[in-house]
Structure 1
Amino acid sequence: MAESVCRSLRDGSLEGEHATALSISDTLYSPLGSHVFHHFLYSLVSNIAASKSQARALVLVAYRRSPSFYLDLLKSRGLDHFLFDKKVLVLDCYSDPLGWKDRLLKSAGVVQQSAKNPSSVFKDVKDVPKLLSLILELGQGLVGQGREKFAVAIDSVSDMLRHASLQLVASLLSNLRCHDNISCVFWLMHSDLHVPRVSAALEYISTMSANLEPIIPSVDGQRRGSENLFNIEQNSHRGKLHIHLKRRNGRVKMHCEEVHVEQVGIKISAVSSESAIVNQSLLPKVQFNLQLSEKERDDRAKVVLPFEHQGNGEAIQIYDGRRSLSEGQKDPHLKVPSSTWSTSTETSTGNGEIHYLRDSDDECPDSDEDPDDDLDI
């Protein structure tokens, strides 16, 4: 399923649709979000370098890491560093996010050397509309003003929310998705740092979501320190990746895979049976039975319900009106009609009688009679 996410980021958006959006979230108990983000980042940059993706360039908005970190990361994966000049551009929101360093240098009279690309350094992360304009300007500078598209990656939306409101951040992501020159957008968020409505709002904007959970869930009441250390060690390099893909017909396809951190990158595979056994062993034991015992079933069968007709001990037979009652079941107070029928009126004896003959169920109407004549249409 992770390969499906990589293909969706590579293929981008269809004509007339908004850009593909991926939301990656992790927690303190499963801190592998950055590894998953780097995995999808490397996959997309590789496709861009090979001209296999819809996006021709990438703008990486760096809040959590410096631009040199991403340069070394992609170089360690075998990508050419000259790719940063033509296909990948990092918008630096990490070095001086609020412009304090620049002010201190100016107040001290220190002349700062001009950077190679000064427009890639952003010094006012609180100004979200200006950040949006700069992202679009840098992306269009890489692909030109034609119909070529570029991708946008944000390494930490949680850092954005430290300086801006949810409304501004959600508006920025929505505007990026709606732009004609953007192929795909993906970001990382630490969900346990925010209230649930923040995570729900950002997942609503996305078309795909990848949520990380610990491979060994924490159990309430677990007090032994050795078990906690073992769980922390296991969850630090292994985790479960729950992927949700929203289809165009409104349905959501869900899948769960296991993430394992290796020396270079991560490995995503199906959930192993060992993990399932460990999770079952950690389930708390309940204090009640889920099934009845043999004695309990017998006792339940003996209970007399007050609203149920109990009869007189004999089997209850329900008369359905089709077969005649036996002689022993006939009411002795009713007079048995004679077998000989007469059209003449007999003298009343004081006891009324009702004779009813059931019509045949499969009786067909006359051929010259319209069965719908009695309908008032």
Structure 2
Amino acid sequence: MAEAVARLLRDGVVVGEQAPAVMLCDSLQTRAAPALFTHFFASLTSNIAAGRAQAKGLVVVALRSTPESYTSSLDTEKKSRSSPGHCLQLVDCYTDPLGWNERIQGAEKLGEEGQRHTELEASSAYSTLCHDISDLNSLLSIVLRSGQAAVNQQSKAHFAVLIDSISFLLHYQSVAAITNFLSALRSHEQVSALMWVVHGDLHEARVVASLEYVATTVIHIKPQIHLPGQMLETQHKRETRHYGRIYVRQKKRNGRVREQVEEFQIENSGVKFAPVTLMTEMHQAVSLISSIPKVQFNLELSDKEREDRSKVVLPFEHQGDGKEVRIYDGRPDSVQSTFGSLNVVNGGSRHPEVVGSVAHKPSGVGEIHYLRDSDDERPDSDEDPDDDLDI
């Protein structure tokens, strides 16, 4: 899915629509957004240099890192060409973001340190200093001017804009001002793509949701869940490698939202992406669950407990105090056969004058006769006899 995001930045804007916007959101648990930002920056720079991208120039707003860190990330081959250096423009908001150096040194009288900054600014043809990030209108003008310089003042050429930390701007600006600033960049006719980084745990949920609303693609960076068996295996690799997952949520033009998950590894050579292996995770999860007891007590019985259980007299076992224990197993009983031979009638109406009484025969066997209260009542009626009661 990371390759799809790189292609999105490469292909740029569609005619009649605003530029695609990619948002990278991480937290203190991962801190991997700068590495992924550098990965997409290098990919887009390579595509621009090779002429495969819609954008002919690239503007990087450096708020979190120094401008030199982006120029040094380019390899020797790209530095030797004239096109990457010309198409890459840096807006330096890192050196003097609030204009303190400029105020101390003064506009007319420059000290020795001020002369050094002036020489540095003059020698850097691809970097523009921004002395006041609290003025977003001024910052927007600087970004657009740098974009014009990146495309050699061509009015029809496109350029991409990458911002390495929106969280830094949120310390000095409101959410509404930041969203208006991003929307102005997206709606500009020469901006082909836009990407920014935000640290989600530094802001409220509503702030992150507002920034997600402006973006067309949101990449949430979350830490990798290590199982107990994997912690010892990867403990010696933590210094040179970092694991994690990206949850890419992309808004389609038809209104649908598509979300995909992908794993990444940050190594010394760069960032590597790999699909999530669901079957491996299922087996690992099953093994982890099986090793954890589901209850807090032991269900196994000891030998003494089994012996005590065997001595318990169940309620359906009729003990005869030394006599034979008889348990009904469903077969005809000898007592029932004896009553059957004596022609015992249950529920009959042979003597209707005797109701609810037992008539003794000379043989010593009684009979129970039942007389219905009404002739309309059926013998096997399922109606509730107390249905007419007002309870």
Q: Say whether residues 1:12 and 2:9 are aligned partners.
A: no
Change in Cα spacing, 1:278 to 1:218, as seen in structure 2 (3 Å) is: closer
Residues 1-377 of structure 1: pairs in structure 2 closer than 5 A: 1-75=1-75, 78-80=77-79, 82-83=82-83, 85-106=85-106, 109-110=111-112, 111-112=114-115, 113-114=118-119, 115-117=122-124, 120-143=128-151, 144-216=153-225, 233=238, 237-272=242-277, 281=288
Change in Cα spacing, 1:282 to 1:18, as seen in structure 2 (3 Å) is: farther
In 1, distance between residues paired with 2:227 and 2:162? 32
Letter in 2 for 1:159: F
Letter in 2 for 1:50: A
In 2, distance between residues paired with 1:30 and 1:180? 35
Look up the SS of the partner of 1:163 in the other structure.
coil
The alignment covers a number of residue pairs equal to: 282
Look up the SS of the partner of 2:39 in the other structure.
helix
**Offset at 1:264?**
1.6
For 1:130-189, what per-residue CA distance to the aligned partner results, in whole angstroms no more than 9, with x for missing partners?
101111111122222421110000000111111211111111100100010100000111
**Offset at 1:217?**
7.4
In 1, distance between residues paired with 2:263 and 2:215? 22
Change in Cα spacing, 1:91 to 1:243, as seen in structure 2 (3 Å) is: same
Which stretches in structure 1 are left out of the alignment for 5+ residues?
A: 220-225, 289-331, 334-377
In 1, distance between residues paired with 2:257 and 2:206? 20
Query: RMSD value over aligned CA atoms?
Result: 3.0
Question: Percent identity over the alignment?
Answer: 36
Change in Cα spacing, 1:238 to 1:141, as seen in structure 2 (3 Å) is: same
For 1:296-352, what per-residue CA distance to the aligned partner results, in whole angstroms no more than 9, with x for missing partners?
xxxxxxxxxxxxxxxxxxxxxxxxxxxxxxxxxxxx98xxxxxxxxxxxxxxxxxxx
Letter in 2 for 1:9: L
Normalised by the length of structure 2, the TM-score is 0.65
Which stretches in structure 2 are left out of the alignment for 5+ residues?
A: 297-374, 377-391
Deviates more, 1:234-243 or 1:59-68: 234-243
In 2, distance between residues paired with 1:251 and 1:163? 34
Change in Cα spacing, 1:262 to 1:235, as seen in structure 2 (3 Å) is: closer
Q: Tell me, yes or no, if the aligned pair for 2:241 and 2:265 is still in contact at 8 Å.
A: no
Higher relative contact order (CA 8 A, sep 6+): 1
